[in-house]
Amino acid sequence: MRFSLERTRALAAARGLSVSALLREAGVSRNAYYSLSRRESAFPKTVTRLAATLGVSESDLFDAVPERREAIDRLVAEARRIAAKLPGIEFDDVWHTLLVLRETPLQRLRGSLRRGRAAPLW
């Protein structure tokens, strides 16, 4: 599931907002916004802020077939339920964990290697 710049632009335009105005209202940097589209899956606070500013569900900002959107909505609900039950647990951490658990071990390893290569060396 990829973040959709096109869907986000269309939703903003439907509310009379330019992308710049949306980002300003959501408190999201232009760099963070465009980096979302390069991720294989994303659900950081940036997406939550954009969705809240637009008054839509986070999953509405992603390209997905309806069946996957329903699965993602269920996953979001589960992550919110878990985060609400456990004080001190961030929604983003629960969401990321649930997403990773859906991947095969090989996908998890490849993701870890990719992030490890991207990490700055001291």
Residue 70 structure tokens: 């329903």
Query: What Rg value do the Cα atoms of the chain yield, rounded?
Result: 15
pLDDT of residue 43: 59
pLDDT of residue 119: 65
Residue 88 structure tokens: 């001190």
Nearest C-alpha neighbor of 84 from the set 70, 99, 69, 95: 95
In a domain, 121, yes or no: no
In a domain, 122, yes or no: no
Nearest C-alpha neighbor of 96 from the set 84, 117, 106, 111: 111
Query: Rounded to whole angstroms, how far apart are CA atoms 10 and 49?
Result: 17
pLDDT of residue 41: 59
Query: Rounded to whole angstroms, how far apart are CA atoms 8 and 2?
Result: 12
In a domain, 13, yes or no: yes
In a domain, 107, yes or no: yes
Name, in order, each residue with C-beta under 8 angstroms of 63's C-beta and a sequence gap of 6 or more: 1, 2, 4, 7
pLDDT of residue 84: 93
In a domain, 99, yes or no: yes
Number of domains in the chain: 1
pTM across the whole model: 0.45
Query: Rounded to whole angstroms, how far apart are CA atoms 2 and 64?
Result: 8
Task: Give the number of C-alpha atoms closer than 13 A to the C-alpha of residue 115, restricted to the C-beta side.
Answer: 8
Taking the chain (122 residues) in consecutive chunks of 10 residues, what is each chunk's mean pLDDT?
79 89 87 74 71 81 69 85 90 83 84 73 64
* Residue 98: domain span: 2-116
CATH number (domain holding residue 68):
1.10.260.40
